[in-house]
């Protein structure tokens, strides 16, 4: 089966430039509506701040069968921090998201994860990381074990998110040369119009409704090309099953945990036992 995964980094609008949340408030529900319509499951990496601020949306993501991972505490650059400090930020973010669901995957803000933090991710019980970009050194492509000692699997992203906002006719040649399995990523703020005149051109091109229409076309194109769209954890599961150097245990399906944030009860206890 040819697999591809769509993933979305759930964060404030265009960090570090803005501190608004239009993308999460307006863009994320539209993405979820589209995925429901197309019956596609995806992976959403939440910052801990986004999880705490929008528990209802996080619950919707889980309830609709998508995967939830972690995208740092407040989109801090882990590569600009001392390893100990960066690890503490990862653990803190993980603790917060774990109140809702057990996260199995991590993506570093700005796709910058110092390799030394692999052991920290393993300590936080992640099964995989998806912070490397195939278009940046060391140009990783297919899934591989990032750190043999801890067995953490790396699933790199294939192309930068602005590629997904090019007209499909320009995208097709790019998709046709990518490997299998592959991971795409984008952000909810790309699916709204942000009124910031100074924004970089690649952050403005075909955003809002156009981005959503292009996402729908991409899904159709991939499915017509024989791809099955899956969550990243599904790619990791297959990889782990087939590799002797990674201890294989099937992951337990994510299901919401009951949690109280402030006065809000987030969810009734479900089948979260053991995760």
- Which residues of the shown chain bind Zn ion in the complex (CB under 5 A)? 9, 11, 109
CA torsion angle 18 74 258 25 (round to 10): 10
User: In the bound complex, what is the minimum distance in angstroms from residue 197's beta carbon to Zn ion?
Assistant: 22
Classify the C-alpha dihedral 31-224-172-183 as positive or negative.
positive
CB nearer to Zn ion: pick between 9 and 234 = 9
> Cα 100 to the chain's mean position, in Å?
16
Note the maximum CA span of the chain: 52
User: In the bound complex, what is the minimum distance in angstroms from residue 131's beta carbon to Zn ion?
Assistant: 10
CB nearer to Zn ion: pick between 8 and 239 = 8
CB nearer to Zn ion: pick between 92 and 243 = 92
Specify burial of residue 130 (Cβ count, 10 A radius: 0-12, 13-18, 19+): buried
139 torsion bin: left (phi>0), alpha (psi -120 to 50), beta (else): left
In the bound state, the residue with its beta carbon closest to Zn ion is 9
CB nearer to Zn ion: pick between 9 and 154 = 9
Q: How many Å apart are CA 214 and CA 211, to the nearest integer?
A: 5
CB nearer to Zn ion: pick between 9 and 237 = 9
| 259 contact partners, CB below 8 Å, separation of at least 6 | 55, 99, 100, 265, 266, 267
User: In the bound complex, what is the minimum distance in angstroms from residue 9's beta carbon to Zn ion?
Assistant: 4
- Helix, strand, or coil here: 117? helix
User: In the bound complex, what is the minimum distance in angstroms from residue 252's beta carbon to Zn ion?
Assistant: 27
User: In the bound complex, what is the minimum distance in angstroms from residue 253's beta carbon to Zn ion?
Assistant: 26
User: In the bound complex, what is the minimum distance in angstroms from residue 110's beta carbon to Zn ion?
Assistant: 6
- Helix, strand, or coil here: 221? helix
CB nearer to Zn ion: pick between 107 and 267 = 107
CB nearer to Zn ion: pick between 58 and 246 = 58
User: In the bound complex, what is the minimum distance in angstroms from residue 8's beta carbon to Zn ion?
Assistant: 10
| 192 contact partners, CB below 8 Å, separation of at least 6 | 13, 22, 23, 26, 27, 207, 208
């Amino acid at each position: 089966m040819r697999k591809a995964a769509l993933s979305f980094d759930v964060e404030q609008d265009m960090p570090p430039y803005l501190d608004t949340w239009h993308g999460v408030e307006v863009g994320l529900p539209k993405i979820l509506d589209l995925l429901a319509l197309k019956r596609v499951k995806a992976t959403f990496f939440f910052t801990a701040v986004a999880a705490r601020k929008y528990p209802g949306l996080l619950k919707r993501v889980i309830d609709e069968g998508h995967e939830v991972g972690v995208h740092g505490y407040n989109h801090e650059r882990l590569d600009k921090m001392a390893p100990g400090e960066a690890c503490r930020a990862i653990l803190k973010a993980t603790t917060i998201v774990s109140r809702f669901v057990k996260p199995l995957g991590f993506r570093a803000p700005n796709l910058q994860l110092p390799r030394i933090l692999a052991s920290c991710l393993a300590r936080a019980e992640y099964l995989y990381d998806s912070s490397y970009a195939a278009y940046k050194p060391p140009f990783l492509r297919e899934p591989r074990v990032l750190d043999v000692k801890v067995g953490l699997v790396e699933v790199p992203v294939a192309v930068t998110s602005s590629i997904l906002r090019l007209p499909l006719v320009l995208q097709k040649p790019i998709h046709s040369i990518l490997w299998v399995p592959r991971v795409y990523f984008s952000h909810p703020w790309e699916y709204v119009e942000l009124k910031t005149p100074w924004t970089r051109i690649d952050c403005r091109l075909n955003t809002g409704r156009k981005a959503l229409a292009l996402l729908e076309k991409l899904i159709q194109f991939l499915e017509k090309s024989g791809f099955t769209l899956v969550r990243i954890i599904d790619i990791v599961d297959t990889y782990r099953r087939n590799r002797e150097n990674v201890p294989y245990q099937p992951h337990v399906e994510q299901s919401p945990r009951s949690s109280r944030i402030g006065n809000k009860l987030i969810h009734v206890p479900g089948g979260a036992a053991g995760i």
